[in-house]
Amino acid sequence: MVDTFRYVRLEKDDAACLLVDHQSGLISLVQDFSPGEFKNNVLALGATAKYFNLPTILTTSFEQGPNGPLVPELKEQFPDAPYIARPGNINAWDNEEFVEAVRQTGCRQLIIAGVVTEVCVAFPALSAIEAGYEVFVVTDASGTFNEVTRHAAWARMSAAGVQLMNWFGVACELHRDWRNDIEGLGTLLSNHIPNYRNLMTSYQALR
């Protein structure tokens, strides 16, 4: 008997955003995106979380070592968000303070992005699935050494039930309907997709 597919959608009232180990040292390892593209994607995901008022948690690993500090742009985006500087745990889910911060959100859906994909993203994503959460990994706001490594990580997570999305898909699924806020969503997309700005300019000119 074939199982019936169930479309599990992101729900803005039940989703939290976890930004894992976007640190200055680790980001230098990202080679599957250009530096400018990757920075834009990460900040676009952050802007999406802010737009939908999603509980957001920042975490880093071993800042005093080669991983380096959190990139300042994320700290500026989320000055009041929980910030868990893990002393050494590679898997963020092994850190009790981080897991408690996740619990405190009250959300059952976790949107996760980080560096590097096969470790800092995959490990907590798999752990969260095991703990009963619905997990959505943002592929273009997570980076690693090369495409071979990234596809292996995606396959491992997908096999465990993780949903793979990009930041644009996350924004649109959370929004549901353009009529909810045309200008708001249009501005969010335009700020991070140059071609979308052209689309919105044309729309505004016709109004």
Report d(CA 68, CA 116) in Å as an integer: 14
Tokens of 113: 């992005």
Q: Provide the β-strand partners of residue 112.
A: 18, 137
Q: Taking each helix axis from N to C terminus, what angle separates 182-192 and 194-206, rounded to the nearest 10 degrees?
A: 150
Peptide bond into 102 cis (omega under 30): no
Three-class SS state of 9: coil
Angle between helix 167-175 and 35-51 (nearest 10):
20
Which residues are the active-site residues? 120
